[in-house]
Copies of this chain bind each other. A is one copy, B any other.
Amino acid sequence: MKQKYRMITTLRQRGHRITPQREMIIQAMMHQRRHLTAEAIFALVRDQSEAINLATVYRTLDFLVREGLINRTDLGDGSFIYTTADHGSHLHLVCSNCQQITEASYEMLASLQHELSCQYGFQAHLHHLAITGLCEHCREEQGVSS
């Protein structure tokens, strides 16, 4: 319940204000340490206090992304998830059938990143890329083919 999160100290050091709303949002994110949608974060915080507004959640998430403390990842269908930046880089595998998200090692992208840089001069931002497909479970269940 105290300010045991470095993220809060960091923000304070940078001269930003720590409001109860920001504190609750950060707390919810750090506690879950997962891929959360804005709506999910709102629900989590709402759960512990009425003093929160969805607009504030969006503004705060946007703010934290700008501060580089959290990441925003496009899930591939136009929706987004947020993850704590210190959570490390991950490759999100989104199942188009059951919507479940698996986290794969970021290392898988190393060679791709290198190739894109060499062949196209393109500096890919892959910190939190999401790839759509069929997870192991649904793959077995759905089709035998492929």
Picked from B76, B78, B102, B105, the residue with its CB within 8 Å of the CB of A122 is B102
Q: Are A131 and B129 in contact (CB under 8 A)?
A: yes
Q: Are A115 and B108 in contact (CB under 8 A)?
A: yes
Secondary structure class of chain A's binding surface, majority of residues:
mixed
Q: Are A134 and B123 in contact (CB under 8 A)?
A: yes
Q: Are B121 and A132 in contact (CB under 8 A)?
A: no
Contacts of A133 on B, CB cut-off 8 Å? 116, 122-126
How large, as a class, is the contact surface on chain A? 20 to 34
| A59 within 8 Å of B (CB atoms) | no
Contacts of A120 on B, CB cut-off 8 Å? 93, 102, 104, 136
| Residues 3-31 of chain A, each 1 if its beta carbon lies under 8 Å from chain B, else 0 | 00000000000000000000000000000
In whole Å, how far is A111's beta carbon from the nearest beta carbon of chain B? 7
| A48 within 8 Å of B (CB atoms) | no
Contacts of A139 on B, CB cut-off 8 Å? 121-123
Could you tell me which A residues sit within 8 Å of B by CB distance?
74, 76-80, 93, 96, 102, 104-105, 108-109, 111-112, 115-116, 119-126, 129, 131-136, 139, 146
